[in-house]
Structure formats: C-alpha cells, structure tokens
Chains A and B, each alone.
Chain A
C-alpha cells in the first residue's frame, strides 16, 4: 500500500476540481476529500497544488469564490463553477475521453 502511487495524473487536477465542483459548491478541503472518496483512495490530492490550482482557475474565470459560514460555524472559502467553467469541464472531459479511448485501444492491440 505504501508504495502504491496516489499522485493525481499529471494535467488532470484541473478537470477533477471542475468535475467535483459541478456537483455542488465546496471549499478546498471538501474538494480534496471528495476526490479521494470518489476515486476510492486511488488519488490523493496534494493540498499545496490544490490551493494554488484553485487560485489559478478562479483567475481564469472558471470558478467563483465566496467566504461563507460552514455548518460548524467556521469561515471557509467556497468555490463554485461558473458558466465558463462548465464549458471548460465539457471540453476537458471530451478531450480526456478521447485520449483514454486511444490509450485503451493501443494497449489492447499490444495484447
């Protein structure tokens, strides 16, 4: 278990964040937790990369952010997908699907 690679695949972090936020607005920790849960522990998000990526995506106009009270009365920065963000997610999903299909075909041909 210790030597199993849990790094998020290079270049997919943005897509994972966008997808996660497309379900509901969330704060940074929530996003990390959700990615881990849904991937059943295959991916573990590096908090540093995540927080930097959130800033970047927000600047790109794909996310909006808002400081809100959480259920246990703490202030947290919640992120939410914008219209542009939804489009971006569609683009990245389509792109990813295309690539995965290609890789899968290649692997099958090999076998």
Chain B
C-alpha cells in the first residue's frame, strides 16, 4: 500500500511537477491568508498584517526545495536534468561525441560478438539436464592424447564400472539415403540403446531405442533429427512409422528428435540407428577397432576424479572373462573428461587468444574515450568551479560527469549491438571447421545481458578519471579560469593514457604478426606430394549393388577408367584415405627382422589402399625399390610399400627392400609375411603442422576388404575446380546411383587444414588494425590538444627566432617520446602475452625478432603520421596573431 502510494505520488509529481508546485503554493497562500486575518483580528493594519504573515511563513522557494528534496522522484528528476544537460553537451560538440560513440561501439560490439561465440562453448552448460555429470571416456594414445576406444573396451567397462548411472557408445555412420529425390549421404551415428537416455533427452515424436533394438541382427530402425525431417520430408512428423531406404535397406523410422535438440558430440548428425555390435567378437573384427566414443553420465554423488580412479583400477585388473587384445589393453589408463571440455578442447587455444585480443581492444577503446573525456573536462574547469561556487556538492558534480560518460557508453552500446550482429555473422562465416556448438552462437538473452553489463561498467570506468578530476577542480577555487601560460605539467593523465594505448596496440600487433608468420611458415611446409591442379572427391558404394569385394573393385576400376578418359584429366587414381582430409586410418605392425618385445606395441602406421597410378597422380616420389605393378599377384609374397620415415625408424641406414612385415589384423598372427618392395616419400596426413608420417601402402584389392568409400584424386591439365562437373558425369556414367561427396581441390583442402589459425589470424588482425587506428587517434588528440594549449608559448618561441623546423621538431618529439615509452612497455607486455598464443604458432618463436621489428616500424610510422598533423599546424602559428590575442 505504502509502496504503491510512493510510486503513484512520485510519478504524479515527476510528470505533473507544475500541478504539485501549484498545490503547495495554494496551501501556502491559504495559510498566509488565515495568519493575516488572525493579525488583523488582533488589531494590526491589513498591509502590516500581511507582511508579518508572509515573514512568518517564510520563503516559498526554500519551502518548495525542501519539499522536493523528499521522495525518490527527486533523484529521478535530477537524473533527467543531468541527462538533458549531457545530451546538450554532446550535441554542442558533435565531433567529440561521434568519435567517442563510434570508438565505444567498436569496443563493446567486438567484445559482445566474441562473448556470444565463446559463451556456448566455454561458459554455458550443455543443453542437457544436469550436463555437468556427462563425461567422455577415451583411450590414452601413445603420447597421452585422447584416442577413440574399441567396442570391446565398452563391453567390459559397462559390465564393471559402478560410478556411472549410464554409459553409451557411439560409432560414426554415413548411410546413403535413396528412394526420394536425389541420393544423399547422411551424417549419422550408430549408438547403443542407452545413448539418448544418457544425454537425458528423448524423441519429440515416436519412441527411443530400447535394448531389443540394440542386438546383433536386430530390427532396422532409425531416429531422425528435426532438421532432416524439415529438409527431406517437408517437416511431416507422420514420417514416424514409415520406411526409408538407407544403403539399399529399408529402415523403419521410430522417432523424430525435438527441434531444440543439439547433438553436441557431432552437431551435423541427422540420423541415429542402434549399434548392434557383438559383445564377444574376435580380435580381428571391427568391434576391436579404435573408432568408438563412450559418453557416460556419472552417478549423482560421484565426482569425475572418483570415476577416474575406478577406471584406473578396472584398467589395471583384467578379468579372464574380458580378454583384451594388446592394442586395447587399457594399460595406459583411460581419460575421463567432462563432455563440455572434451568438445571444446580443440577450439580452446583459438578462443582464448581471441578473447584476450578483444579485451585488449576494449581496453584501448576505453582508454581512448577516457582520454577525450579528460581533455574535455580540462576545458571545463571553469564551469565546474562555477558550479561549486553556486553550491553544487562534489557528489553532484561527480554524478553529472558520470551521467555523461554512461550516456556515451549507452549510445555506444546500442550501436555496439549492431556491430556485434555484424561481427557474429562474420565469425560464423569465418569459423573454422570443427568449431563446436556453432548453432548456439547468436545474440541471445545472456549476450544482451553481457552487453548491458559491459556498457554500464565502461560508462562508469571511462568517466571515473574525468569525474575525479572535476571534483578536484571544484576544490581549487579557480573561478577566474586559470591562465594558460604554463604549458608543462598538465595532462599527465592524458599522456599516461596514450602510452597505455600504444603499449596495448603493440601487443595486439605482435600477436597478429606472429600468427601471420606462422601461417606463412605453415604453407611453406611441403605436404609430400604436389597439391596444385589436383581435384579430389569421395566416391561411395552405398549398398549391396556390389556385394563382394571383387565386384566392388571392378566397379572402382571401371569408374577410374571412365574418369581417365575425361578431357583435361592428366592422371587419376583412388585411395582409401586422402592426405590432409579428415580421413585418419592407422594400424599396428611388426617386422620380421626387428621383432618387437611385444608384438603390436611398435605403434601404428597409416594404411593406404591405393589403385595403380596413385603415386604418379599425386606426385609422391619413389625413394627406393619399385612401385606396384601388374605382375603383383595375390597369394605368396604380398608386395607392400612403406614410407621413408617408417623405413628410417625400423631399418636406419639398412636397405628395407625385401624385408618382411605384417600389418593390421595380421599382426602377431602366424599369417604369411608381406614383402617390402619399395620406399616412397613421406606424406602429411592429418595436417601440415603435425601428425605422423609412418605409413604403408597396399594395392587395391589386397587388403582384408575393399573400402566402400574411396577418394578419387584427379591430376588436371588446367584449372582443377573447373573439371569437377565432367569428372562427376564420368563417375555417374558407370553407375548413376553412386553418391559423390567432398568435392574439393587439394589447394582448398590445404587451406582448410589451417582454418583454425587463419580464423585466429583474421580476427586478431582485425582487432590489431582497429587498435592501431585508435592509438593513432589517441596520439593525434593529445598532441593537437597540447598544441592548442601551447599556442602562446609557440608564438613566443617563434617570435624569439625559432624556425618552423624547430617548432615541428618540438611537437613531433613530444609525441614520439610517448610512442617510445609505449613501445617499451608494450614489448614487455607482448613477451608475456604471446604465451597465450603459443599453441597456435608454427615454425616461429614467440619472440621472433623479425615480427617485433616489423611491428615497431609500423607503429612508429603510424604515430609519426599522427604527430605530423598537429606539428605542422603548430609550425604555421603566426606569432603576431597569437600574442595579440592574449
């Protein structure tokens, strides 16, 4: 009741101030009237009585002020007055207002955009109930890095672990959807029946998988994403209960996921089917390959650490009922990482670097605006002193200056949201492949909240120094505008701010420079083959049309034949895995001459099953021996090729030709040995920057199976990309039902492998250039302010015989000394700050002298330019005019 009354009365007074004032005036007049009558009744003359009454009641204005000082509406009223005043001040000085607002919009916008990208990945929890209890289990690779697990491991863990409410296992699946429109290869997952339940989600329509679905020979059932239903089935939810054709088999659709469901482990996945693997499978089967992921939900009371200890205990205590092959013996232990960290792990270094960069940019923007505000409040000393003299309190002055800066920040923040919108669009367009949770990036409520918080904070921050200055100015009782004859001393704050700006800009420039040099170095790395004029695409045998390996091989050979006849094709071949693509396929090995202590523990080598002509098509050099030829026949000595690095590792300087080895499932068995017939050059598989180059090559049709997904590599005589349509037609001329995927030139593929670094580079470079511009504006602002203040001094100097060159030097020296101090401080900062981007650097030290030198030259050049304009103005000062004006 009372609160309501406070609110309504306050609002009424706020909006109808005149009415409230009038009421008070009426009441006072009534009082005066009555008092006058009382005096008259006591015998005073009417005019004397009225004067006495007025005297007694007192000053109407004072009373009004006392009444107004009460109630919340009073401070609102003051705020509105302050705001009006601030708006007037900004409009009176549009140049200052525009520069400040744009600077703040840039800073706030960039920060908000980066926050919106970082928030879903690093900060907010995953979109599942109690997502903090979800963890990813992985095998530990030889170097300690996480590695996919085997299904056998999952079988054992599920039976033995107690720390988990539920465990689920996932395998990649890429079924080809046929029967409707054009054939399409979908991204899917085969999952244990527990998968969706482990995440804590369920289909929007239809049912989840159950244990009866997930058994060997179980039913062909699938759950679809809402996205796929929209795209391929017109959003018709009645798809549930109907059948779709996948890989030439009929699958019953049993459910559709909700629109909001995000499959964070593999965001592009549109279809799920039960895994249906064998719980007890022989070691040489796919169930014992490292290509599964395990996701688990911890019991409520269990921490990740306790789960880790239990896993270690289980890992080091094998049971006879759970036999383990050597490549999955869990001896190195298993890794447990919270799901959120696991999916963000790859993106983290880039994101941290970018967050750091944007904070530096924001700091520079703040410093710049603070600088402008300080300059203005210096001009307003007289005004502040006058207001103090008229009775304004220090708090009141402080509040007014802060109102101004918060208003600036507010307008900047609104524009900043526009900047952020553009920025988010650019970030998504630029984002490197594999950036997690990209669908969750956007301007949502938390982002708006963040922008509001940043804006307010910055408004207060940039206003603080000028506000304190203003309050102090009030204490100096210099109503009679201090004379400006002294030039030095003043503006120490402004100079310190400029130095800060230069230092921060230097840090960003060094970061951008180092990344630029890294990319340069990276692209200078030889991939081990000739990438130019090389067109690649995946050709896929989707189903049962080529049921046997022989039929499949014949199909691929016919395809290759057709492609080779396309005009413009110089050479063509097929490979089971394509260098620098996402393909990664490795197997263990053993050599007859250098027996391992434990077979299979030598590590693994990349397996390439290649069609004839692969090495010449790719331009991979033969180092020793010979390539495959038509005389290689199945049976007896199977010929293989190995890579240079593997040859060196196993044979040193000895000749590996004629040596015998076993690879993959043969390892440790008593199958016949393969014979090494040649050594070829090393090829980068995972990335130009890292990854092993140990590899072995077998001719197509000589491996345990013929892969149903092959990469076609085509060396062209002209532009590679232009040939893609005719190559596709050639493939379809053999069989029109074959999906073709991942059509890309090798040049584009190489650029893509560096996409994370390129992303970081583009973003940080943009920030660095913005920072450079802001720093230049800062230097220019301080110097031209100082020149204006020193007009008289400069006039005196030139009257006393200083040449234009002297004056020019005087001003430029003043500016450049600030730059030099800033550079020195910035160098210190850069040496520390570049630690943050160390993992993104390649082939260049974070203290690379060339980068630092280049950045210093650039910064010096730009600040020289910023000094020159005010200096030039100073040099043209006419002493007669300046001296006369005093």
Give the complex CA separation of A74 and B81 in angstroms. 37
- For window 1-27 of B, CB contacts with A under 8 Å fall at 1-2, 5-6, 9, 23-24, 26-27
A84 CB to nearest B CB, Å: 7
A28 contacts partner chain B, Cβ-Cβ < 8 Å: yes
A59 touches B6 (CB 8 A): yes
Please name all residues of chain A whose beta carbon is closer than 8 Å to the beta carbon of B66 when the two chains form the complex.
48, 52
How many A-B pairs have beta carbons closer than 8 Å: the answer is 60
B63 contacts partner chain A, Cβ-Cβ < 8 Å: yes
**Interface range on chain A (Cβ under 8 Å from partner):** 10 to 19
B30 contacts partner chain A, Cβ-Cβ < 8 Å: yes
Please name all residues of chain A whose beta carbon is closer than 8 Å to the beta carbon of B6 when the two chains form the complex.
59, 61
Stretch at the interface among B54-62, B93-101, B437-445: B54-62
What residue in chain A is nearest B5 (Cβ atoms)? A61
B247 CB to nearest A CB, Å: 77
A51 touches B27 (CB 8 A): yes
A51 touches B35 (CB 8 A): no
Partner of A55, one of B1, B30, B67: B67
Partner of B2, one of A47, A52, A60: A60
What residue in chain B is nearest A52 (Cβ atoms)? B66
A99 contacts partner chain B, Cβ-Cβ < 8 Å: no
Give the complex CA separation of A29 and B29 in angstroms. 11
A77 touches B30 (CB 8 A): yes
A107 CB to nearest B CB, Å: 34
Given contacts A47-B56, A61-B1, contact A29 B30 (CB under 8 A): yes
Give the complex CA separation of A51 and B57 in angstroms. 9
| Tally of contact residues, B, Cβ under 8 A | 25
Give the complex CA separation of A73 and B825 in angstroms. 82
A103 contacts partner chain B, Cβ-Cβ < 8 Å: no
B30 touches A52 (CB 8 A): no
B23 touches A77 (CB 8 A): yes
Partner of B24, one of A47, A55, A56, A76: A55
What residue in chain B is nearest A32 (Cβ atoms)? B31
Give the complex CA separation of A74 and B36 in angstroms. 15
A51 touches B63 (CB 8 A): yes
Give the complex CA separation of A55 and B9 in angstroms. 11
Give the complex CA separation of A76 and B35 in angstroms. 14
Partner of A28, one of B2, B5, B27, B56: B27
Give the complex CA separation of A29 and B38 in angstroms. 11
- For window 1-58 of A, CB contacts with B under 8 Å fall at 27-29, 46-48, 51-52, 55-56, 58
Partner of B31, one of A47, A55, A56, A60: A47
B76 CB to nearest A CB, Å: 15
Give the complex CA separation of A60 and B31 in angstroms. 23
B64 CB to nearest A CB, Å: 9
Please name all residues of chain A whose beta carbon is closer than 8 Å to the beta carbon of B35 when the two chains form the complex.
29, 47
Give the complex CA separation of A75 and B33 in angstroms. 11
Given contacts A47-B35, A48-B57, A51-B63, contact A74 B30 (CB under 8 A): yes
B27 touches A48 (CB 8 A): no
A64 CB to nearest B CB, Å: 10
B14 CB to nearest A CB, Å: 13
B723 contacts partner chain A, Cβ-Cβ < 8 Å: no
B31 touches A51 (CB 8 A): yes
Partner of A27, one of B23, B30, B62: B30
Given contacts A55-B24, A59-B6, A59-B70, contact A47 B30 (CB under 8 A): no
Please name all residues of chain A whose beta carbon is closer than 8 Å to the beta carbon of B62 when the two chains form the complex.
48
B34 contacts partner chain A, Cβ-Cβ < 8 Å: yes
Give the complex CA separation of A58 and B23 in angstroms. 14
B70 touches A28 (CB 8 A): no
B28 contacts partner chain A, Cβ-Cβ < 8 Å: yes
Give the complex CA separation of A61 and B8 in angstroms. 12
B282 contacts partner chain A, Cβ-Cβ < 8 Å: no
Please name all residues of chain B whose beta carbon is closer than 8 Å to the beta carbon of A76 when the two chains form the complex.
27, 30
Give the complex CA separation of A76 and B67 in angstroms. 19
B9 touches A59 (CB 8 A): yes
- For window 387-414 of B, CB contacts with A under 8 Å fall at none
Please name all residues of chain B whose beta carbon is closer than 8 Å to the beta carbon of A61 when the two chains form the complex.
1-2, 5-6
- For window 435-461 of B, CB contacts with A under 8 Å fall at none
Please name all residues of chain A whose beta carbon is closer than 8 Å to the beta carbon of B56 when the two chains form the complex.
47
A3 CB to nearest B CB, Å: 19
Please name all residues of chain B whose beta carbon is closer than 8 Å to the beta carbon of A29 when the two chains form the complex.
30-31, 34-35
Give the complex CA separation of A59 and B2 in angstroms. 8
Please name all residues of chain B whose beta carbon is closer than 8 Å to the beta carbon of A52 when the two chains form the complex.
63, 66-67, 70
B658 contacts partner chain A, Cβ-Cβ < 8 Å: no
Give the complex CA separation of A90 and B9 in angstroms. 25
- For window 769-783 of B, CB contacts with A under 8 Å fall at none
A-B contact pairs, 21 of them (CB 8 A): A27-B27, A28-B27, A29-B30, A46-B58, A47-B57, A48-B58, A48-B59, A51-B57, A52-B63, A56-B70, A58-B9, A59-B70, A60-B2, A61-B2, A61-B5, A61-B6, A74-B30, A74-B33, A75-B30, A77-B23, A77-B27
What 4 A-B pairs come out closest when comparing CB atoms?
A48-B58, A61-B2, A29-B34, A47-B57
- Chain A interface residues (CB < 8 Å from chain B): 27-29, 46-48, 51-52, 55-56, 58-61, 74-77, 84
Besides A55-B24, A56-B67, 15 new A-B residue pairs in contact (Cβ under 8 A), listed by A number: A27-B30, A29-B30, A29-B34, A47-B31, A47-B57, A48-B63, A51-B57, A51-B67, A52-B66, A52-B70, A59-B5, A59-B6, A61-B2, A76-B27, A84-B1
